[in-house]
């Protein structure tokens, strides 16, 4: 079961805000954002705590938050259609996921499960989009970062397929265009 705080409580004060700001500055999806925008996003962010075995997101379910692990470790699980979930990786502090969920309604491609106690910074799509209404210049910057990431990912996939002598039919439809 997770617990959430919408904003930092009084004992956390400026330290929570400053911590959120520092975390957001390090997240690739916010590269190049102005300090004013990052401050608003830091204020709108919240904290969530998970216990061992809790799921932060579930494969196939709608996902509407971006999370950054601030403490602890998680397992990344992927289940083939109709199959049993398999751990495909682990991640810890500083790992962020769900950035695309800030932009649109998406289903999670994997399940993230807490491995021990985990704390996350959380920014919801709703709050992100409210900030985007106030700072419309942030959306082109985020889209630029997302597109760069997708092209980089695609290049890595194609390189990997080339090393394994993939046929053109196997990569058809991989590109966005």
Q: Which residue has the tokens 């682990």?
A: 90
Does 85 score more than 60 pLDDT?
Answer: yes
Mean pLDDT, rounded, for 83-95: 93
What average pLDDT does range 13-26 have in this prediction?
83
Q: No. of H helices and E strands in the chain? A: 5, 9
- Using the structure block, give the residue that is written with the tokens 């990997």: 160
The answer on pLDDT for 8 being more than 60 is no
The candidate with the shortest Cα–Cα distance to 75, out of 63, 89, 65, is 89
Measure Cα distances from 21 to 13, 36, 43, 134, 153 in Å.
13, 10, 8, 18, 27
Among the residue ranges 24-28, 111-115, 157-161, 167-171, the one predicted with the least confidence is 167-171
Domain spans in the chain, listed from the N-terminal domain onward: 3-135, 137-177
Fold category of 3-135 in CATH = Jelly Rolls (2.60.120)
End-to-end CA, the chain = 41
What is the dihedral angle through the alpha carbons of 107, 152, 127, 108, rounded to the nearest 10 degrees? 10
Task: Identify the bridge partners of residue 51 per DSSP, sorted by sequence position.
Answer: none
pLDDT at position 30: 92
Residue 44 pLDDT: 97
Q: How far is CA 84 from the centre of its chain?
A: 24
Residue 70: other Cβ atoms inside 10 A: 19
H or E stretch covering 88: strand 86-91
Cα separation, 115 vs 119, in Å, equals 11
User: CB under 8 Å to 104, separation ≥6 — which residues?
Assistant: none
Paired with 114 in beta bridges are 74
């Amino acid at each position: 079961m997770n617990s959430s705080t919408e904003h930092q409580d009084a004992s956390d004060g400026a330290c929570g805000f400053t911590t959120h700001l520092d975390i957001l500055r390090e997240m690739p999806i916010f590269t190049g954002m102005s300090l004013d925008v990052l401050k608003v996003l830091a204020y709108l962010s919240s904290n969530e705590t998970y216990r061992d075995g809790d799921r932060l997101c579930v494969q196939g379910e709608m996902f509407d938050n971006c999370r950054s692990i601030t403490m602890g470790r998680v397992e990344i699980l992927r289940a083939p259609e109709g199959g049993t979930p398999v751990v495909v990786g682990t991640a810890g502090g500083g790992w962020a996921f769900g950035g695309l969920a800030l932009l649109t309604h998406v289903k999670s491609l994997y399940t993230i499960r807490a491995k021990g106690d985990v704390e996350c910074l959380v920014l919801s799509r709703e709050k992100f989009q409210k900030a985007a209404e106030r700072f419309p210049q942030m959306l082109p910057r985020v889209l630029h970062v997302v597109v760069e990431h997708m092209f980089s990912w695609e290049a890595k996939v194609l390189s990997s397929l080339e090393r394994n002598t993939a046929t053109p039919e196997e990569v058809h439809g991989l590109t966005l265009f």
